[in-house]
């Protein structure tokens, strides 16, 4: 029987960021991004939920070993973004506005490149417990 | 690249309600709705999660500005239902049983009418942290 | 060794209420209680945390058997207030304003009368996850 | 109008388990399952979310009466697994490795057999708040 | 009857910060503060719980009107720190290391000066859901 | 100014246990401990909150470095109890009933012996999110 099961792993990281469009005036940025455009940055405790879908191995009963998945997230995502200033300290957001939408797309692409193609991937990112995003939708 | 991302906003409101079918006897209502048919109403802290799916704007990185979405939910849903008796104080539930299923459908219809047609919408409503509903399913 | 340990049990109930002072005008009540004075009631999912402190029995290792404590809370508090309109359906709040402060004092007195005098008692009540009270302070 | 709504009920149970493949050496089991292969078992507070999707009854406004669904979960799942050793006390895992993936498939099959075929079913199982699974994915 | 009840209000703010002692070398700061000394700042979703203890007013049943307390916290704490870089944008932490311990003391002092002396005050601050502080202890 | 601040660190571990008094009959144990006396064990995700109170260092602003405290909890508590059968795999509960009360006392004694005497200690242990204990009370 080939039944696909989703397995989820939750991790978190803390980072600073600032939202703004370089070509815009301060007034335009303030109007669009409000307090999030503060030039000296603010920050979040980002919660990340990685969903991997596949067929459990008939012998082990695992879709993927969660300690393997957790290590992959740590090496590829947390070590890159945790306790960083996303605008200043990361090449991914050097010229890309670090909105939650853009962060979740970047994390998806990083993890997608590392996972076996037989596994489906989805990523959810909480910027706060009231604001969060998911890709694919 | 046209990639659809979902963005979620969580809000809450408090309301009183009573579940019953007008044409039924008290015994029938009690059998079907239990304590929820108490004639003097009871209440809940409703948690609402609104999910909007679309393509992030290439310049701002936003699917929708969350302060715009939050204001829309406030004006259209919270101002209408917060600290209200759903059966007595709202036209939506004057003759519609305010089950979680019916409330989520009503909120979906209210928000759907206000959102750009290019955006997809889904609504989840928590009546308690153990009982909740979602539309579309 | 006589060491006192606290043990906590969390329960919940749903109820409707209205805040108002009978001798006041509608304007005075609205000014003091805001939307909480809505004449048709609103409601909450109340979360209740009961803390009992005492010396663990040397044989069983129990301060109090939690199934006994849980049954006591159910019989004395939940059966009395769950799915009720506090103002209309309960004698305790027939002439006492059902603020969180007054509710926690009433629940404390009910439970205190049932517990062995050798045990200390404290009660916390969440009206929402952002508004809560505790007695004794 | 025939609109399908999902309704969710959260329940929980506590159980002990051990992960291992009978034909493997202790070293192989330790390499694959880490501390989860401890021969004397460890345990979890499992949180279970059952999602049932269907068309609300036009009279009652219910997809399914949640007290009926809750009783079904209690009788079929909680009474079977709560406070049990999954490997030793249940026939379902006597020869099936009790990974989260396998547990969620077993619970799905148990509940699917009891539900009206017009209703869709999905089950999510939290082993911890950071590790969870869902079927169908 | 003069019985003191505690009432709690939870609020939150997002901010960036960096931990370091000005007179220390980078190596000393890194050894003491780890990733928290990153020169480009990182950030948090700070959760704040303000506890006010007093005797409920016999007429209203309120220790303090929570909408008054919430407005006070907003005006005195959130408007000052929300979406700010604590090191660069606030005078309170211009020369004081913004550890959780120091932040909670600063917030306590700000609120203490605004509250009626008959009311007791305690402040809890969550830097993450696993790291938090309280004053008075 | 010498002001004492409390700092909290939350950790967790998973374990199996069984509650029973050796000298009692199965019927006596079942009557006192219910399903918790199941001879084949059941288990929990234990959440542990360690509270340390002291005066922040005037230079660093730390009561205690949380990475030091976290390492201490890991070395002394998690490595000892995580993924273990408390009754069979630990000397602490070889002849002591592993109730939540007894576990919290054991953890307190272990940590108290490791902490500087100038620091106060309190430990809270969640067996489930509805059942928890604290020492000192």
Per the annotation, the verdict on C83 as an active-site residue is yes
Chains F and D touch (3+ CB pairs under 8 A): yes
Q: Cβ separation of B105 and D5 shorter than 8 Å?
A: yes
| Residue D28, helix vs strand vs coil | helix
**E136 three-state secondary structure:** coil
User: Which residue numbers in chain E have pLDDT < 50?
Assistant: none
How far, in whole angstroms, is CA D10 from its chain's centroid? 11
Residue B51 corresponds to which tokens in the numbers above?
């999910």
Best CA proximity match to D19, nearest among D42, D2, D1: D42
Over residues D85-135, the pLDDT tens digits come to 999 999 999 999 999 999 999 999 999 999 999 999 999 999 999 999 999
Distance CA E84, CA A16 (A): 10
The total number of structural domains that make up chain A? 1
pLDDT band at residue B2 under the 50/70/90 scheme = confident
At C103-133, the pLDDT tens digits run: 999 999 999 999 999 999 999 999 999 999 9
For position A1, what pLDDT does the model report?
57
pLDDT of residue D1: 57
- Residue at token pair 């939350």: F10
pLDDT in tens, F28-76: 999 999 999 999 999 999 999 999 999 999 999 999 999 999 999 999 9
pLDDT, mean over chain D? 96
Residue A2's pLDDT is: 84
**Residue whose token pair is 């957790």:** A70
Mean pLDDT for A118-130 is 97
Q: Catalogue the E-assigned strands of F1-137.
A: 5-17, 42-54, 84-85, 120-128, 131-135
DSSP F2: -
CB-CB under 8 Å, F97 with C61: yes
pLDDT tens, B10-53? Answer: 999 999 999 999 999 999 999 999 999 999 999 999 999 999 99
Which pLDDT belongs to residue E27? 92
Question: Hey, which chains touch E, using 3+ CB pairs under 8 Å?
Answer: A, C, F
Residue E1 has what pLDDT?
57
Q: Is the pLDDT of residue F1 over 80?
A: no
Is A11 annotated as catalytic? no
Residues D42/D60, Cβ–Cβ less than 8 Å: no
Peptide bond just before C10 cis, omega within 30 deg: no
DSSP per position, chain B: ----EEEEEEEEEEEEE----TTS-HHHHHHHHGGGG-TT-EEEEEEEEEEEEEPPPTTT--SS-HHHHHHHHIIIIIHHHTTEEHHHH-STTSSS---HHHHHHHHHHHHHTTS-TTSEEEEEEEEETTEEEEE--
Answer whether C5 sits within 8 Å of F135, measured CB to CB: yes
Q: What is the pLDDT at residue E2? A: 84
Q: Residue ranges of chain C with pLDDT lower than 70? A: 1
Q: What residues does A84 pair with on adjacent strands?
A: A15
CA-wise closest residue to A1 among D105, D116, D23: D105
What is the rounded distance in angstroms from the CA atom of residue C102 to the CA atom of residue D64? 37
Minimal Cβ distance to E97: which of F4, F11, F61: F61
Q: Residue B89 in contact with residue B81, Cβ under 8 Å? A: no
Q: Are E8 and C135 in contact (CB under 8 A)?
A: no
Token pair of B73, please? 């939910």
Residue A27 annotated in active site: no
Q: Are B114 and B76 in contact (CB under 8 A)?
A: yes
Distance from the Cα of A32 to chain B's closest Cα (Å) equals 8
Nearest CB partner across the interface for B99, out of D8, D62, D67: D62
Strands (E), chain C: 5-17, 42-54, 84-85, 120-126, 131-135
Strand partners, B9: A131, B50
What are the tokens at B99?
């089950």
The confidence score (pLDDT) of residue F68 equals 96
HEC-encoded secondary structure of E48-105: EEEEEEECCCCCCCCCCCHHHHHHHHHHHHHHHHCCEEHHHHCCCCCCCCCCHHHHHH
ipTM over 0.90: yes
Percentage of chain D lying above the pLDDT 70 cut: 99
User: What distance in Å separates the CA atoms of residue C18 and residue F97, rounded to the nearest whole number?
Assistant: 47
Q: Could you tell me if C15 and B43 are in contact, meaning their C-beta atoms sit under 8 angstroms apart?
A: yes
pLDDT in tens, E92-107: 999 999 999 999 999 9
Q: What is the pTM of this model?
A: 0.95
| F104: contact with C, CB 8 A cutoff | yes
- The domain in which residue A93 lies consists of 5-135
CB neighbours of F89 closer than 8 A, spacing ≥ 6?
A: D38, D40
pLDDT of residue F47: 97
* CA-wise closest residue to F123 among A112, F115, D118: F115
Rounded CA separation C14/C114 (Å):
23
Q: Does A92 touch chain B (CB under 8 A)?
A: no
Is F48 an interface residue toward E (CB < 8 Å)? no
Distance from CA of E69 to the nearest CA of A (A): 22
Cis? peptide before F136, omega within 30° of 0 = yes
**Do D48 and D69 form a contact (C-beta atoms < 8 A)?**
no
Cα diameter, chain D: 61
CB contact under 8 A, E40 and A88: yes
Interchain pair A14, E44: CB under 8 A: yes
- A102 in contact with B, Cβ within 8 Å: yes
Q: Which two tokens stand for residue E84?
A: 């700010």
- The domain spanning residue F53 has which CATH number? 3.30.479.10
Could you check whether the bond before residue A136 is cis, i.e. omega within 30 degrees of 0?
Answer: yes
Q: Which residues of C touch F104 (CB under 8 A)?
A: 5
The two structure tokens encoding residue A52: 């991997």
């Amino acid at each position: 029987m080939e039944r696909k099961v989703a397995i989820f792993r939750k991790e978190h990281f803390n980072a600073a960021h600032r939202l703004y469009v370089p070509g815009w005036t301060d007034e335009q940025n303030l109007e669009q991004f409000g307090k999030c455009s503060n030039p000296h940055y603010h920050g979040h405790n980002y919660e990340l939920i990685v969903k991997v879908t596949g067929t459990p191995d008939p012998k082990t009963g695992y879709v993927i070993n969660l300690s393997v998945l957790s290590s992959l997230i740590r090496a590829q995502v947390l070590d890159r973004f945790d306790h960083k200033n996303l605008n200043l300290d990361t090449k991914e957001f050097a010229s890309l506005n670090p909105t939650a939408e853009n962060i979740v797309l970047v994390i998806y692409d990083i993890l997608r490149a590392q996972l076996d193609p037989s596994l489906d991937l989805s990523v959810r990112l909480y910027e706060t417990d009231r604001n969060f995003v998911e890709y694919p939708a």
